Every structure is written in C-alpha cells, then in structure tokens.
Structure 1
C-alpha cells in the first residue's frame, strides 16, 4: 500500500466538501457585511438542497443507462467549477444587487449554489471512482472527506472567526458613562480577511484536481488500480477471490453471510448487492440515510444552541473536537473494520443516543442541564465527540461494505447519503428558521437559576 496513493486519495477526498464546509465556518465573518445578515444560513440550506439536482441526474443515468456515463469527465468538470467559483467568491462575496426595494447578495448566492452542486455531485462521482483502486484506499478517501470539514475549521480558528471576548457593558446617561452588571460579547477582529480564506479554499480545490489527475495517470497508481471487472459485469470472480481471502480473517471481520455461499445465490436486490438479502440491503441503506441525516444536517443545525449556553469555549471545543473525531473514526475503521450488521446497528443506536442528548440540551437552551457546572461543559463536549465518532465509523464501514458489492452499489451509496442529508435539512429548516423553536444562549450572560 504505497504511501503516495494514500496521500493522493486523502487529498482527493478533502476536495469533496471543503468548499461548503468552508462557507459555513466563515459565516461569522461574512454576515455583518451582507444584506441578508444571519438569514444567510437559511438561504444556504435551501441552495444546498436545490443542488441535489446534480446527484439526481447522475443516479438516474446510472439506473436507466448503466455504463454510459463515465464519472471521470464529470469529476474534472465539477472540480474545475469549484476552483473557479471559490476564486470568484474571494472578489465578489461582498457585492450586492438591487432587486426591487432591497439589495441582495446575488453573486454570493449564485456562487454558493454552484459550490453546492460541486459538493453534492461529488457524493455520487468520487465514491464510484474509488472503485478503480484497491479496497484499502477507500478508507483513506473517507478520512480525507472528514478532513474536508476539519481543515477549514482549523484555518478559521487561526483566522480568529467567531472568537468572543466578554467585557463589561457601559450605559451612557446624560453624557456620563455608567457601569452595568451585563457583559457584552465583543468579536475579535480576524487576523486575515474573508478574501484570503476563499483563496485558500480555491487552492484546496486545485490540490484536489492535481490529486485526481495523478490518481488517473501516475505510474505508481496504475499498479494499484483494480481490473475492469467491476465495470464489465464480471463481479462474481471478484467475490470468489474475496471469499477465499476472507478465510484468513478473524471471525469478527467476516461479512455476516459467507461469500462462498453467497456467490451461489442469485442476486436478490435491485442495487447490485447479491451478497445480502433484500431485508439486509434495506437495513444498510436506512442506517446510511439515518446517520447522514443526523451528522450532516439535524445535529449541526442545533450545535450552537446545544453548546453556547455553556460558554464560548465549550462551543469552539465541541465544534473542533467533533471535526477531529470524523477522520479519527476513519483511521479506526482502517485498522479495526468490524463489518457485522448487528454491531453497526448497535453503534447506530449508541451514537443516536448521544445525538438525542445533544438535541435535548438544544431544546432546553438557554438553560440546559448543568449549565453552571464544569461537568455540564465536559458532558456536552464528550457527547459531541462520541456522537460524531460512532456514526462516522458506521458511515465508513457501510461504504466499505458497499464497495465490495460493486460500482452500482457505491453510486446508490452516494445517492442515499445525499437523500438522508436532504431529508434532515428539510426537517430542521422550519423548526429552526421558521418556527424558531430553539433559543440561542448568550456566550457572556447566563440568566438561569442555579
């Protein structure tokens, strides 16, 4: 397993969602200078769901015209589009256009939509492309996908985005300053501008493009490339080879169904998954949609509500450590790949339990449990870490399982990931942005009974 190919697969995976993740972490620096203000996150949510037209088109092409669409030209197109869109954002994100009696950030919204198309379409093109490489590189790709959220967050942390200092507020009465018991949140000026940050995102997309080119043309990669049997329908021979090799694995690493027995069966699923029964296929895809809905949409929508009542440090620590937990889960899956569906179901329930605690604290905001104690802060940070760690592991292992089922299964994997994320976002949007069921906590003033 050459290190070079692992690095390239990781850098390629980082380009999958780095643009939109970068947009989210840069919001505190953007919203003060645009007409939409803090309504921008709601607009972004809608734009991301509209961008699912890209994955829908790719999935329908694979379903009704199998073998016609080669994902490589599509990947070249969307990555180049991502480079251009992030570069243009650096210069036009502040520009507004008069529409009727008000102004709107049309360039920002249009470019954000294009970036959403890029990132959403990557779910149904990047994963199937990884079928061309050996199985061990898929886990490295997932690690890179996790880093696509961590790297922009760390850069934004260095930039100083959202860092708050609390100072005593003063009131002016008859020209004289009067002290107040209230603390005022003062945002620290950023160390570099949003323009520099967007140029960094554009550079990350260039790195993704270079990695993809090398994965296609570098001689070292050619030796690690899979044969064309996944694309020519000769999947049975591959399953026989996998079945023979699985005898050398420990029992907990084996699939739930013996591959040697499975190859004797007729395919029982419309997703190209002959190894698993229809019920098991439904279970796999339901779990995949569920964990992506929670990790990509439902819980991120209430992260500030669940953490800010415990203080600004708790919020930043939870956000950063949760972002670290994602690639850590990928590395754990690389060395401890437990593929038992029973275990994955247990881990899904385990992670969902922590998600339920986080959601409960968000609903109780601005006065959640243990709001005045250090233990409350430790519990909410730990809940975020364990939530992301457990469900990210589930996502990676399901990706590995589907990878062994062939090209078509990975296309459906990307489609279900997007479907779950879309359903999660659409369910949370009215609760957060329309009905206002969640109340923000104050990072500096906690008015809760002790």
Structure 2
C-alpha cells in the first residue's frame, strides 16, 4: 500500500505543470509554423500570467468562504479541462484567423490559456489536497511535479525539436563570402502526436487522482478532513501556540533534529519562508527560463539540449534526494538558496553576453554552462520541496498560501523579463552558423 500511494502521488504531481512545460519545449517547431514566429514566446508569457486569475480566485474563495471550497471537485474539473485542451490542440493548434488585418493563432492562444489556467491553479489546489496523506508522500508529489518538466523535454528530444544544420544560402558555388544560414531539421514525429502524448500524461494524472481519492482512510497518518473547518482556516502566518508546540520550553527550532518538523515557527521565520518561496519560484519559473536560449544556444545545439534535458532531470532528482535526506534547517535552506541563485546569476550573465559568452567554442565553457543550469535547478528544487514539507506541518491553509506565493513569484519574474527581452532587447540571439566572435 505504501509503495502504491507513493506511485499515485508521483503520477498525480505529473499533471501539475506538464501541459505548459510541453508547450514551451515544443516552441522551436511551433514558431516555424505559426504566423507570430519568434514573438510567440512573448505572447505565451502574457497568456500564462493572465491565467493566474485561477489561483487568485481559489485563494480568495479560501479566504472569504473558508471550508466551503470542495477541492477534489475543483481538481477533477481542472484535470478534465487539461485533457480536453491537449486533445483539441492536437487538432487545431495551427488554425489561424484574421485579427487586426493579419493572421493570428487564435485557437492556439485560447487553448493555451485553458492549459495555463489548469497548471497555475494546480499550485493552490494539488499540494493542499496532499494534506490528506502523511508528509512523506508530499516528497513523492514533488517528484511527479519535477517529472512534469522532464517527460515533455524527453519527448521533445526524441522528436528532435530545435536541432539544426548549417546550409549555404548564397547562389552559385561555395566561396569565402558564402552566406551560411541555420536550417531546422524535420522532427521525428509531428506536433499533433506530441500534443496527444501530453493528453495521455494528463489522463494518467487524472486516473492517479481518482485512485488517491478512493483510497481507504486506513493509510497510516492520513486524515479524513481534507478541507479544514471554517474556524481553522488561516494564512499560515499565525503562531499555532501551545497546541502546536512540541518541545517544553524550547524556542522555535531549538534542539530540533534535521528530520523533525516543528510547526511552531516565529513570524520572522515564516516571513523568511514565504519570501524564499516568492524568490525561488520567480527565479525558476520567470527570470531564468526567459533567457535559457540566450545563455546556451551560443555554445551549440547539443549544449542547449543537454542543459534543458539535465535541468529537467535535476528537478525530480532533487525531490528524490529531499525524500531520503531531508534537512529543514532554515539556515541551510537559506545558504542553498544563495548557492542556487549564484548559479542562476552565472546563467544570466552568459545570456547578457550572448552571442559571445565566456569560453564559447571550448569544451570547458560548454561543460560549465550545462552544470550551472543543472545545479541551479537542482538546488532550488530541493528548497521548494523542503519549504513545502515545513508548511505542510502548519496545515492546509499554509500550503494554499505557499502556492499563491509561488504564483506571485512566477508573475513577478515573468513581468520583469518580458520588457527586458521583448521591448528593450537587452539580450541578443545567437546564430551558431553565422555568428563570429573575437577569439
């Protein structure tokens, strides 16, 4: 039974962000077919942020009508909406209509909005739902959430998305003045098949959720009451007092072993935790994803795909490490956040130096940028898991606000990067075939 619940929790977590992650990794194919071209990522960023209306509405309902929101019903509707949207995308992703005198991908935009609504709202519904199970299953959920990035990336690699070759575009014979241009290689399977694969992953998540909901409440440590009573709803910022205290006379965290949860946290500690949630999600979901292409493409296609694939692997790997080697020390998590932010700073610096970053054309430069992305994702993913475990001890409401804080961070990161990339053009794309940098 324990192994089954771990597996179901993992597969349930798969449905959290698999749809939006899938659309992102498919962009190199989409931009060659849709009329928006490489402006498509900027449209996609705005659509995803608009979908934050979902978690905002759920959070307000929790606050204004405590105890009345039936989360299992909401989650079922979200997953069904995600499956339906993925299937419709497979049929209508390339349909265009004329808006403002030009063709636009209206079907793709509308269906992507519904997928984003599912994934954004999962932040404030999926994790709080896990409150009905013991805390060790929360780590399994985070493993599944990490796989929601890895599996679409693996499918895109198998599809050969974004692989290119250099071709001579000048007329006549090859000369020293020949113009070399980048040409995308045909994919191994179509975009339609890719969207059907996303739909299948969403179906698996829905099936796992139904199974978790049907499990007998004899699972050790589970609770019958998924949504707390009206009187127990809070933001998670209040001190639980004597009822949550576990150490006679010790202050918060004093004498606490790394593997032990103490829900009695001070206001300053809780503020630190929620600020960390905002920053970590802002960096991993908004700031750095916007520049990954700029930081890796100058080193070549292989480096770019290795960085995206290994970064996707780092997420579930870090969640697995957190499951077996938990450390709830806020000092340790703060240092780990600073370390991960340092790797993120290096990635951002290489993106700013594009198309001629440090050590371009050398094996050392390629290795460092791949490792930097791997460690950036891995360290901050570990922090996400441990913060979720800490807040789980404070109850359902604390996890709802954790999800809301994560979405706020993602929004801030995305809104910050959008004008820098699309308006002020602070980052320059690299064409591996035609860009020449000083040695």
For the Cα contact (< 8 Å) 1:138–1:400, is it kept in 2? yes
Residue 338 of structure 1: SS of its match in structure 2?
coil
Match of residue 251 from structure 1: 257
Match of residue 36 from structure 1: 36
Structure 1 residues 49-448: aligned runs within 5 Å? 49-167=49-167, 169-172=168-171, 176-180=172-176, 182-219=179-216, 225-228=222-225, 231-232=228-229, 239=244, 251-255=257-261, 259=262, 275-448=264-437
Measured against aligned partners, the alpha-carbon deviations of 1:73-132 in whole angstroms (never above 9, x if no partner) come to: 110111111111111000001110112411111111000011110100000000110001
For the Cα contact (< 8 Å) 1:311–1:444, is it kept in 2? no
Residue 350 of structure 1: SS of its match in structure 2?
helix
1:178 Cα deviation (Å)?
3.4
Residue 116 of structure 1: SS of its match in structure 2?
helix
Which runs of no fewer than 5 residues in structure 1 stay unpaired? Answer: 260-273
Structure 1 range deviating more: 396-405 or 156-165: 156-165
Change (3 A) 1:250 1:402: closer
Match of residue 6 from structure 2: 6
For the Cα contact (< 8 Å) 1:182–1:445, is it kept in 2? yes
1:224 Cα deviation (Å)?
5.9
1:253 Cα deviation (Å)?
2.8
For the Cα contact (< 8 Å) 2:54–2:117, is it kept in 1? yes
Cα distance between partner residues in 1 of 2:78 and 2:227: 24
1:34 Cα deviation (Å)?
1.3
Cα distance between partner residues in 2 of 1:229 and 1:374: 52
Measured against aligned partners, the alpha-carbon deviations of 1:237-260 in whole angstroms (never above 9, x if no partner) come to: 9846899xxx9x9833345xxx4x
Measured against aligned partners, the alpha-carbon deviations of 1:12-31 in whole angstroms (never above 9, x if no partner) come to: 00001000100001111111
Measured against aligned partners, the alpha-carbon deviations of 1:268-327 in whole angstroms (never above 9, x if no partner) come to: xxxxxx611111111000011001000111001000111111111111111111110000
Match of residue 264 from structure 1: none
1:229 Cα deviation (Å)?
8.6
RMSD: 2.3
Q: TM-score, normalised by structure 2?
A: 0.92
Structure 1 range deviating more: 179-188 or 392-401: 179-188
Residue 185 of structure 1: SS of its match in structure 2?
strand
For the Cα contact (< 8 Å) 1:5–1:221, is it kept in 2? no
Cα distance between partner residues in 1 of 2:368 and 2:296: 10
For the Cα contact (< 8 Å) 2:169–2:180, is it kept in 1? no
Residue 258 of structure 2: SS of its match in structure 1?
helix
For the Cα contact (< 8 Å) 2:85–2:111, is it kept in 1? yes
Cα distance between partner residues in 1 of 2:169 and 2:89: 38
Measured against aligned partners, the alpha-carbon deviations of 1:344-388 in whole angstroms (never above 9, x if no partner) come to: 111111111111111111101111111132111111111111111
Cα distance between partner residues in 2 of 1:382 and 1:150: 16
Which runs of no fewer than 5 residues in structure 2 stay unpaired? Answer: 233-239
Residue 253 of structure 1: SS of its match in structure 2?
coil
Cα distance between partner residues in 2 of 1:25 and 1:419: 23
Change (3 A) 1:2 1:50: same
For the Cα contact (< 8 Å) 1:171–1:179, is it kept in 2? no
For the Cα contact (< 8 Å) 1:131–1:406, is it kept in 2? yes
For the Cα contact (< 8 Å) 2:328–2:386, is it kept in 1? yes
Structure 1 range deviating more: 233-242 or 301-310: 233-242
Change (3 A) 1:171 1:416: same
Match of residue 45 from structure 1: 45
Match of residue 236 from structure 2: none
For the Cα contact (< 8 Å) 2:245–2:264, is it kept in 1? no
Residue 183 of structure 2: SS of its match in structure 1?
strand
1:36 Cα deviation (Å)?
1.1
